[in-house]
Amino acid sequence: MPFHVIVGGQRGDEGKGRFVDLIAPDYTVVARGNGGANAGHTVAPESMNPIALHQIPSGIVHPHILNIIGNGVFVDPIKLTNEINSLISAGIDVSTKNLVISSSAHLVMPHHLSLDLLRENSQNAQGSTKSGIAFVAGDKYTREGYRMESVYFPKELYAKALELLIDVNSNFQTDLKRTEQELENEVKVWLKATENLKPYIQDTVDLINQRLLNGENILGEGAQAFWLDISHGMYPYVTSSSTTVTGLLDGLGISPKSVSKVSMVIKAIKSHVGGGPFVTEITDEQIAQNIRGEFGQTDSEYGATTKRPRRLGYLDLVEIRKAIQLNGVDELYLTKLDHVPRFGDTFKIATEYILDGKNIVYAPSSANLLSKCTPIYREFTSWKEDISHIRKYSELPHQAREFIEFIEKELGIPIKKIGVGPERNSVIER
């Protein structure tokens, strides 16, 4: 059963979308099984401007591929409708022939967004994407959520959505409260969006398993990355779903026996959006901004969803080792090799941490413990050549090859694809 999984090995923004887009032509199905509108994958189709996807899998730009939004995804119907319309406006076909949504996927409802807004305006703000994800996940696990299948009962769904929104609205300060008419209008717009999605809904668990039994090549696209995993990440600075391979399997309804290969994407320039400890963070803002680039550039270090400038740091093998350990990784894809010279004449790689006076090689799954860690670095000499045009590994500067081979030796996993630029084909295959 050829099921190939691609996941992120750091804190998100590794560039998973570009690799999914790159290899998608070899597959008949691309499936998302976790996250929601809080995730962002950027693809760069030929002869088109880069496209930022959030809920739709990155195989959508290829006409022959069926894209599945699985049962583990939190679906925001308004944002998903807008995403579909935006793709259609860009000349990309989106129909029931190439996009399906699980009837078991949970709906992000209007009151979830309001609850997120309340929290972000309070002392308990977490710097979220304000997508309501934490609250829809909470309802899922208290068994009070509404799934895509609920759209077949619009009267009941409208009444409940309005009731919940009115209840949350009562908690807002006077200057932020809305009238009941405004709330009714908001729910009507939301309900209309759910109606728009009705044709795409089906039992995707049965669908994807039938495709596997037929011997089709299926690609699983993980959202976000390992260190944002609700169970194994740097808690509490995590997302609300499981971002591991097993989380993706659960979010699609696929047996672990189906997995044929696990590829993990890592980025030479470590980045993070949001709060939490960052052991290898670059505190010199001039260096950070030089690495970050200009807002709006395809490869700049700003969140695809949040638009916020990312915090940046040196490559951290201690965190990546833990991600490899829990995901059963077969191969690595490395991005942003072309950005390494932006560090300056030299750059560093963290190979170990010191925690409570002891050297450790696997990062702890706790923000509290991570905040107490000190990195041990290995320093390297950088290169000055522009490598964005290179497509053969042997033609890379020797310093770049030393960088790659050091990572492979330390992690014990081969690096099979290397990103050397923002374009779809700016990749060295090994």
Domain ranges of the chain: 3-90+205-429, 106-199
According to DSSP, the residues that pair with 139 across neighbouring strands are none
CATH of segment(s) 3-90+205-429: 3.90.170.10
pLDDT reported for residue 370: 95
Question: Into which CATH architecture does domain 106-199 fall?
Answer: Orthogonal Bundle (1.10)
CA 323 to chain centre: 15
Q: What is the DSSP string of 62-111?
A: STT-EEEE-TTSEE-HHHHHHHHHHHHHTT---STTTEEEETTSEEPPHH
- So what's the pLDDT on residue 1? 55
Residues annotated as part of the active site: 13, 41
- Spatial contact of 355 and 373, defined as CB atoms under 8 Å apart: yes
Spatial distance between the Cα atoms of 109 and 193, rounded to a whole number of angstroms? 11
What is the structure's pLDDT at 118? 84
10-residue averages of pLDDT along the chain (430 residues): 91 88 93 88 68 89 94 96 94 95 98 87 57 94 97 97 94 81 96 97 97 96 94 92 96 96 96 88 89 78 73 96 97 96 94 97 94 97 95 97 97 97 89
pTM value surpassing 0.75: yes
Please give the structure tokens belonging to residue 168. Answer: 């949350």
* Contact status, residue 36 vs residue 131, Cβ threshold 8 Å: yes
Report the pLDDT value the prediction gives residue 418, as an integer from 0 to 100: 97
pLDDT at res. 122: 53
